Amino acid sequence: MYRERDVHTKDCPGKDVLSAYFDGELDPRSMDQVSVHLSGCSLCRQRLEGFAVLRKRLNDVPFSLDLVASKERTLNLIEAQHVLRRAAKRERFWDRRVFIPLPVVAAVGLLFMFTIAALIVWEMQPKTVEMAEIKDVDPVGPYDVDVKNLEQLAEFLQNSNSTIEVTIRLPSQPAFFLMGEPKLLRETDYKRGK
């Protein structure tokens, strides 16, 4: 025999179970168990009646569902959010992804490496001064000296104050250093010494 209960106990089914029972969604065995419980529990019965009242009220409310308009609003909302997201991404340049073909990446890499190698080789080259070859060969005569006798010739030679001078401008680079005592060597001795 069941005694009527006036408070919920741990044996009372929960709201979800009662709701499922009300909707007839429980399996037959569970339906029987809940039915047995309801026969002896006035609180659960009241709750079940509350479900019935709620359903009745919902059914009484005039409900018109405009699916087409709702769909339109939803799509518009999604589109608006998408546009906003794209705009936000466009502002951040560093977030943009750019597609570069692999051969292009490889070619750029090779070019970069070649440039670095060329710079290294160029730096390792000994610095040379600018090549120059200046031939300052004094032309050999003729000179016209108008003398009529030996006395005039001797006088001309004695009064002549010219010097035999060769002036050579050395290259501006490199800077020269004194490496030791000046030397005067026969070419043969110098080559033998080397």
Q: Where on the chain is the footprint of another protein (CB under 8 A)?
A: 126-138, 140-150, 153, 156-158, 160-188, 190, 193-194
Which residue bears the tokens 């005067």? 184
CB of 114 to another protein, least distance (A): 26
Nearer to another protein, 74 or 173 (CB): 173
Nearer to another protein, 2 or 143 (CB): 143
Nearer to another protein, 46 or 162 (CB): 162
CB of 162 to another protein, least distance (A): 6
CB of 104 to another protein, least distance (A): 41
- For residue 173 the two structure tokens come to 């680079």
CB of 118 to another protein, least distance (A): 21
Nearer to another protein, 102 or 131 (CB): 131
Distance, in Å, from the CA atom of 56 to the CA atom of 75, rounded to the nearest integer, reads: 33
Distance, in Å, from the CA atom of 123 to the CA atom of 186, rounded to the nearest integer, reads: 38
Distance, in Å, from the CA atom of 24 to the CA atom of 22, rounded to the nearest integer, reads: 5
Distance, in Å, from the CA atom of 100 to the CA atom of 142, rounded to the nearest integer, reads: 77
CB of 122 to another protein, least distance (A): 15
Nearer to another protein, 121 or 150 (CB): 150
Nearer to another protein, 108 or 185 (CB): 185
Q: Radius of gyration over alpha carbons of the chain, in Å?
A: 57
Task: List Cα–Cα distances, 168 to 134, 136, 137, 140, in angstroms.
Answer: 9, 9, 12, 19
CB of 123 to another protein, least distance (A): 13
Give the three-state DSSP class for 182.
coil
Distance, in Å, from the CA atom of 150 to the CA atom of 153, rounded to the nearest integer, reads: 5
Residue 100 CB neighbours (<10 A): 8
